[in-house]
């Protein structure tokens, strides 16, 4: 294994997440505490490059205390598998950590009460990319009113909880359970997510940043690159908002 990658991992992240989880087990920060079975904190690699943020626990998640373990979760696991990832490779959390009754939308006061915990998780995991699942996570983390149908599958560099990351919205997997067309869109967006993880954001060579990248010998060119094609800027170097 690459020694740099091992050294880059933060050995304290797992403990920091455990401590935060323990602090939240009896949370009474909003009225959702009255009907929940479990606080659904989050699971996965404490040092993940890729973090998923959903809306809030459903019936199965509330019972088991783990995010995305129901039907939508199975689809998420399949979508991950299709791009060569397993649940243990990523970190998965939600905007609200307790199930809204009858799976209703989380209310603004519930999101306000719970989102600081999500921000702490992001500050600990420090993901390179956050894939927001659906409109609630996207609105919160990208601070946008744009419609999901306009911004899904597009990347936006952004600082969240003190972490320079890239927000990548996709439709919520639940939207694809009974609508094959939505599933296809999700599959296409996950293929783009794979490219984003592998290559970073593609900056058009005609743009100012693209020209600077093209002049920078440390920025690798795509194998098929010709002089009028786009250059690829690794995710940790210069970024351009793409929406």
Q: Site residues (CB under 6 A) for ligand URA?
A: 54-58, 61, 67-68, 70, 72-73, 94
Q: How far is the CB of 67 from ligand URA (least distance, A)?
A: 4
Q: CA nearest 73: which of 43, 49, 95?
A: 43
CB of 50 to ligand URA, least distance (A): 16
Residue whose CB is less far from ligand URA, 97 or 128: 97
- How remote is the C-alpha of 70 from its chain's centroid? 19
Instruction: Select 55 or 110, whichever has its Cβ closest to ligand URA.
Output: 55
Spatial separation of the C-alpha atoms in residues 102 and 218, rounded to whole Å: 53
205 φ, ψ to 5°?
A: -60, -25
Residue 179, C-beta contacts closer than 8 angstroms, at least 6 positions apart: none
* Residues forming beta bridges with residue 94, ordered by sequence position: 54
Considering the complex, what minimum distance in angstroms separates the CB of residue 133 from ligand URA? 6
| Assigned token pair, 180 | 């094959």
**Shortest distance, position 94 Cβ to ligand URA, whole Å:** 5
Min separation Cβ 35 and ligand URA, Å: 16
- The residue number with the shortest CB distance to ligand URA is 54
**Shortest CA distance to 125 belongs to which of 240, 20, 235?**
20
d(CA 140, CA 144): 8
């Amino acid at each position: 294994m690459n020694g740099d990658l091992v050294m880059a991992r933060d050995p304290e992240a797992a403990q920091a997440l455990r401590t935060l989880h323990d602090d939240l087990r009896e949370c009474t920060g909003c009225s959702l505490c009255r009907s929940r079975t479990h606080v659904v904190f989050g699971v996965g690699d404490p040092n993940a490059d890729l973090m998923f943020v959903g809306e809030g626990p459903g019936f199965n998640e509330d019972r088991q205390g783990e995010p995305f373990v129901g039907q939508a979760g199975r689809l998420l696991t399949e979508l991950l598998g299709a791009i060569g990832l397993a649940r243990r490779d990523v970190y998965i959390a939600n905007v609200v950590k307790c199930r809204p009754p009858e799976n209703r939308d989380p209310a603004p006061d519930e999101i306000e009460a719970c989102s600081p915990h999500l921000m702490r998780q992001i500050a600990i995991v420090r993901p390179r990319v956050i894939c927001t699942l659906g409109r609630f996570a996207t609105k919160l983390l990208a601070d946008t009113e744009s419609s999901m149908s306009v911004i899904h599958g597009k990347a936006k560099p952004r600082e969240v909880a003190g972490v320079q990351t890239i927000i990548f919205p996709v439709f919520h997997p639940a939207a694809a359970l009974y609508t094959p067309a939505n599933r296809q869109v999700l599959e296409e967006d996950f293929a783009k997510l794979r490219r984003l993880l592998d290559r970073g954001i593609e900056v058009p060579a005609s743009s100012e940043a693209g020209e600077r990248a093209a002049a920078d010998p440390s920025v690798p060119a795509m194998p098929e690159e010709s002089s009028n094609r786009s250059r690829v800027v690794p995710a940790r170097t210069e970024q351009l908002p793409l929406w």
